[in-house]
Amino acid sequence: MRRVVNDTAGERAASGVSADMDLDRRKRDLLQTIVVAYVESAEPVGSQFLASQPSLGVRSATIRNELAEMTMMGYLRQPHTSAGRVPTEQGYRYYVDHLMSWARLGPVGVRALRGAQRISAGDVEALLYQTCRVLSSLTQYTAVATLPSSGERLVRQAHVISVSPSRLLAVVVLDGGQVVHRFLDVKQALTPAEVTRLSNALDERVRGASPSSLCAEARPCDELGPLDAILRSLIEVLALGVSGDDSDLMLGGASHILEQPEFREANRVEPLIRFLEERRTAFQTLRSLLARRALTVSIGSENSHDALRDVSFVAARYATGGAAEGWVGVLGPTRMHYDQAVSAVQFAAQSLTEALSRSAGE
């Protein structure tokens, strides 16, 4: 069994805490059964159903006690008193990191993704479009991909300049020589000393960062006091300024995610639709989740954008045979077929790498 590398799991490993210590074998078996059943049905899973599963071999009374404990531990939740249990984000994360079976993509999916290569005939944009279309059809989720680009340039230095008492100009110089300017209006007038302090803090925070990781640098800093919110706003506007062009993001099957039961409520679906329509914001947000990992699975609130709080993002990098690379993935509800999504996305990235590498060698 392989492990999905992601922000949450990485932080847990760094702290020396192992999720394996949280759940014994019985609880792990129950969690796996609940996740699989809930993903299929979208209905809370009750103790009677679990007791009827021969593979578990556990009585109803014991199951109820175990479910109560797992709910207290944060792996499950109960929508209402008389309902069964559904996985929480913590439950999904444990499932993905420790319980999910890793399987190869089936022959139908393999043929479909290989076919996308033949249809595109060396046209990179057409290849990515067809790959997104096929990937979305295979998973029934929204597929996303970026055009290949050479490695990201790093921030060489950053400055903040006051152009008026309540307006700032942030300047970032990338190591390739590109200069990015962004204005920010602030609510209070700043003294020269405060502007200097902001400039020093900005340079310290973003120097050496890649454009796609700038959003992650907009973290709170208690030492700055009331200037902290301004610093974070400066980093956010700069992150948008150095991000890729919105045309670099391709979507396939955007309607699929809206067909899921979770998004039948307007207050959930409208922010997601706006997010997908704002290609520049979507590009920057999704790219920042990948960092430098080959594969990522980001679940619910692990995503940095509010519109993705009910969404999971599975993505993998592909290469061109040279210095350029991009990524391909799917967006779906947290109640996702993670095993199927991971296998399909990984194979799509592998297929793109093979196709683009062949083209580069011709």
Residue 296: inside a domain: yes
Q: Tell me: the pLDDT tens digits for 249-295?
A: 888 888 887 788 888 777 778 888 888 877 767 877 787 777 667 89
Task: State whether 250 and 237 are in the same domain.
Answer: no
Output the average pLDDT for the chain: 81
The predicted structure's pLDDT at residue 66: 93
**Helix, strand, or coil here: 79?**
coil
The CATH number assigned to the domain holding 54 equals 1.10.10.10
325 and 145 Cβ atoms separated by less than 8 Å: no
Domain end (from 210, 242, 274): 242
Domain span holding position 118: 107-149+246-361
Task: State whether 119 and 250 are in the same domain.
Answer: yes
Q: Is the pLDDT confidence value at 326 over 60? A: yes
Specify the higher pLDDT residue, 362 or 152: 152
Residue 2: inside a domain: no
Rounded to an integer, the average pLDDT of 164-179 is 76
292 and 320 Cβ atoms separated by less than 8 Å: no
Task: State whether 206 and 253 are in the same domain.
Answer: no
Residue 264: inside a domain: yes
The predicted structure's pLDDT at residue 215: 63
Q: Is the pLDDT confidence value at 189 over 90? A: no
The predicted structure's pLDDT at residue 241: 66
Query: What is the pLDDT confidence band of residue 135, given thresholds at 50, 70 and 90?
Result: very high
Q: Is the pLDDT confidence value at 216 over 70? A: no
Among candidate residues 303, 284, 181, the one with its CA nearest the CA of residue 234: 181
Task: State whether 330 and 259 are in the same domain.
Answer: yes
Task: State whether 251 and 236 are in the same domain.
Answer: no
Q: Is the pLDDT confidence value at 210 over 80? A: no
Give the best-scoring range by mean pLDDT among 91-100, 213-222, 321-330, 349-358.
91-100
Query: What is the pLDDT confidence band of residue 331, given thresholds at 50, 70 and 90?
Result: very high
Cα separation, 47 vs 320, in Å, equals 50
Specify the higher pLDDT residue, 53 or 154: 53
Domain end (from 225, 242, 259): 242
The predicted structure's pLDDT at residue 31: 96
The predicted structure's pLDDT at residue 90: 96
The predicted structure's pLDDT at residue 68: 94
Q: Is the pLDDT confidence value at 246 over 50? A: no
Task: State whether 21 and 89 are in the same domain.
Answer: yes
The CATH number assigned to the domain holding 316 equals 3.30.450.40
* Number of domains composing the chain: 3
Residue 307: inside a domain: yes
Residue 82: inside a domain: yes
Q: Is the pLDDT confidence value at 165 over 60? A: yes
Specify the higher pLDDT residue, 152 or 76: 76
The predicted structure's pLDDT at residue 242: 64
Task: State whether 253 and 145 are in the same domain.
Answer: yes
* 22: CB partners within 8 A, 6+ apart: 73, 75, 94
Specify the higher pLDDT residue, 5 or 335: 335
Query: What is the pLDDT confidence band of residue 8, given thresholds at 50, 70 and 90?
Result: very low
The predicted structure's pLDDT at residue 260: 85
Task: State whether 238 and 250 are in the same domain.
Answer: no
pTM passes above 0.85: no
Residue 1: inside a domain: no
Domain end (from 177, 209, 242): 242
Q: Which residue has the tokens 């993905």?
A: 96
Q: Is the pLDDT confidence value at 337 over 60? A: yes
Token pair, residue 14, equals 């760094």
**Helix, strand, or coil here: 307?**
helix
The predicted structure's pLDDT at residue 272: 84
Task: State whether 132 and 280 are in the same domain.
Answer: yes
The predicted structure's pLDDT at residue 10: 40
The predicted structure's pLDDT at residue 126: 84
The CATH number assigned to the domain holding 211 equals 3.30.390.60
Q: Tell me: the pLDDT tens digits for 54-104?
A: 888 888 889 999 999 999 999 999 988 777 999 999 999 999 999 998 878
101 and 1 Cβ atoms separated by less than 8 Å: yes
Among candidate residues 41, 42, 78, 47, the one with its CA nearest the CA of residue 62: 47
Residue 175: inside a domain: yes
**Helix, strand, or coil here: 241?**
helix
Task: State whether 198 and 223 are in the same domain.
Answer: yes
The crossing angle, in degrees rounded to 10, of helices 266-277 and 279-290 is 90
Report the percent of the chain where pLDDT is more than 70.
82
Q: Is the pLDDT confidence value at 225 over 50? A: yes
Residue 129: inside a domain: yes
The predicted structure's pLDDT at residue 20: 45
Task: State whether 290 and 339 are in the same domain.
Answer: yes
Task: State whether 354 and 208 are in the same domain.
Answer: no
